[in-house]
Amino acid sequence: MSVRTLGIETSCDETAVAVIEADEQGCRLLGEALATRPEEHAALGGIVPELTVRQHLELLPRLTAEAKNKSGNVKVDGVGATAGPGLAPALLVGLSYGKALAWAQKKSFHAINHLEGHLFTPFVAKGGWPKYPHVALIVSGGHTLLVEATGPRARRILGTTRDDAAGEAFDKLARMVGLGYPGGAALEMEAQGADQGCFSLPRPMKGTPGCDFSFSGLKNAARLLLEKDPALASPGRARESFCAEVQAAISDSLVDRSAQALKETGIKTFTVSGGVSANQGVLQALQKMAEERGIEFISTMGGWNTDNASMIAAVTARRVLDGQASDWDVDADPRWSVAV
C-alpha cells in the first residue's frame, strides 16, 4: 500500500510545506515549498515571535498551494503538522492550519514532534525508514541532543546542552566577529582554507563523564580573545583562523560527546541531523570518529539538514501506514520531549 501525506513545519522562523509519497520500503518527496525571511529577523537581532507568526499566517496558503502544485496536485491520505517543541504561537499557526486542511478533506490529522522529524531525516533522505537501534545526534539552532532510539516508540535522551545549542554557539560567535545572523554557514565559509593553530579555544566538556554539552565557556573564551585583538572582528586572515578554531572546538566537543554515547550504549549505528550537520568540518570529524570505531554513520544532505516539512510529512506517512492518528483536540506542546 502506498500513501501520500502533507506535512507542515512552523516551529520557529521557517515556514515549510511538503507532500510525500510513502510505502513500507520508504518515502519519496513529491513537492516542497519553503520560505524564511532571515533579513527581517536579523534587522531586529533574532527571532521576534509576533513577526514570525505574521509571516507563517501570510505564507502558509501560498506555500501549501505551491507544494501541492509541485506534487501534481495528488490527493493526500493524511495531514501532519509540527506540534512541538518550538515557539508556542508559531506552532499554533501550523497546527490549526493543518487541522483545518485535514478536516476539510475528511482525512486524518497528525501532531508531529519536530525532533522525531529530525531523527527520521538521515534515513528518509535516502528513501528508507529509520532502523533500530541507533544513536542520533541532533544539532541545530535550538537543540543539541544525543538520543538512543531502540524502537519507533522507545527513545531515551543520553545528553543535552546545559546552556546554548551548538547552532546557537556558531551563531553567537559568528555575530561577535561581524558575520551577521544566523552566521553558522558564513563562519564555515570563513574557516575554509584558513591557517590552523593560530588560536586556542577550549573543547567544552571533553573527557567528562556522561554525554552532556556546554558551549558558554567557549563563548566566554572567544570574547576574551576578541577583547585582546579587536581586528578579529574585521575581514582578514586572523578572522579566518579564528573561525577555523571555533569550528574545530565545537566539532571536537560534538565528536567527544557522541563517542561517549556510542561507548555507553554499545550501539553500532550513528546518525546526525539538524542545521549544524550541514557543516563539512563537523560532518567529516563525526564520520572519522564513527569509522575508527567500526560504527555505521548516516548523515543527511541538502535541504534535509535544516528545518523542513518533508521530515514532518515523512513521520506523518509512517503514522498513516501504521493506522495511527491524533485526536482533533490535540494541542501544541512547546516543550514536547523527544523521549518516549
SS3 labels along 10-43? CCCCCEEEEEEEEECCEEEEEEEEEECCHHHHHH
Question: How many Å apart are CA 110 and CA 81, to the nearest integer?
Answer: 6
Q: Indicate which single residue of 9, 21, 256, 307 sits in contact with Zn ion (rule: CB under 5 A).
A: 307
User: What is the Cβ-side half-sphere exposure of residue 106, based on CA atoms within 13 angstroms?
Assistant: 0
Residue with cell 560534538: 254
List phi, psi (to 5°) of 6.
-115, 130
Q: Is residue 306 a contact point for ligand KG4 (CB under 6 A)?
A: yes
| Of residues 210, 204, 215, 209, the one with CA closest to residue 159 | 210
List phi, psi (to 5°) of 149.
-115, 110
Report the site for ligand KG4 in 271-290 (rule: CB under 6 A): 274-276, 278-279
User: Using CB distances below 5 to 8 A depending on partner kind, what does residue 184 bind out of ligand KG4, Zn ion, none?
Assistant: ligand KG4
In whole angstroms, the minimum distance from the beta carbon of 141 to ligand KG4 comes to 3
User: Using CB distances below 5 to 8 A depending on partner kind, what does residue 265 bind out of Zn ion, ligand KG4, none?
Assistant: none
Comparison of 5 and 305: residue with beta carbon closer to ligand KG4:
305
Q: Is residue 9 a contact point for Zn ion (CB under 5 A)?
A: no
Question: How many Å apart are CA 4 and CA 6, to the nearest integer?
Answer: 7
CB atoms within 10 A of CB 158: 22
Q: Indicate which single residue of 80, 98, 167, 204 sits in contact with ligand KG4 (rule: CB under 6 A).
A: 167
Q: In what order do the strands lie in the sheet with 144-151?
A: 154-160, 144-151, 134-139, 269-273, 296-298
List phi, psi (to 5°) of 284.
-65, -40
Question: How many Å apart are CA 77 and CA 324, to the nearest integer?
Answer: 12
User: Using CB distances below 5 to 8 A depending on partner kind, what does residue 167 bind out of Zn ion, ligand KG4, none?
Assistant: ligand KG4
For residue 207, give Cα distances in angstroms to 146, 162, 255, 268: 16, 16, 11, 21
User: What is the Cβ-side half-sphere exposure of residue 200, based on CA atoms within 13 angstroms?
Assistant: 0
| Of residues 172, 142, 173, 174, the one with CA closest to residue 160 | 142
**Span of 2-10, 13-21, 61-69, 132-140 interacting with Zn ion by CB under 5 A:** 132-140
The C-alpha cell at 62 is 501560498
Q: Indicate which single residue of 120, 129, 170, 297 sits in contact with ligand KG4 (rule: CB under 6 A).
A: 170
Q: Indicate which single residue of 140, 241, 247, 279 sits in contact with Zn ion (rule: CB under 5 A).
A: 140
- Yes or no: say if 32 and 17 are a contact pair by the CB < 8 Å rule: yes
Report the site for ligand KG4 in 174-193 (rule: CB under 6 A): 182, 184-185, 188
In whole angstroms, the minimum distance from the beta carbon of 173 to Zn ion comes to 20
**Span of 65-73, 194-202, 251-259, 299-307 interacting with Zn ion by CB under 5 A:** 299-307
User: Using CB distances below 5 to 8 A depending on partner kind, what does residue 7 bind out of ligand KG4, Zn ion, none?
Assistant: none
In whole angstroms, the minimum distance from the beta carbon of 291 to ligand KG4 comes to 21
- Give the number of residues in contact with ligand KG4, rule: CB under 6 A: 18
Strands (DSSP E) contained in 25-130 are: 26-35, 78-84, 108-113
Q: Is residue 256 a contact point for ligand KG4 (CB under 6 A)?
A: no
In whole angstroms, the minimum distance from the beta carbon of 143 to ligand KG4 comes to 6
Report the site for ligand KG4 in 9-28 (rule: CB under 6 A): 12
Q: Is residue 190 a contact point for Zn ion (CB under 5 A)?
A: no
Comparison of 265 and 308: residue with beta carbon closer to ligand KG4:
308
Report the site for ligand KG4 in 94-153 (rule: CB under 6 A): 140-142
**Span of 76-84, 119-127, 166-174, 211-219 interacting with ligand KG4 by CB under 6 A:** 166-174
Q: Is residue 303 a contact point for ligand KG4 (CB under 6 A)?
A: no
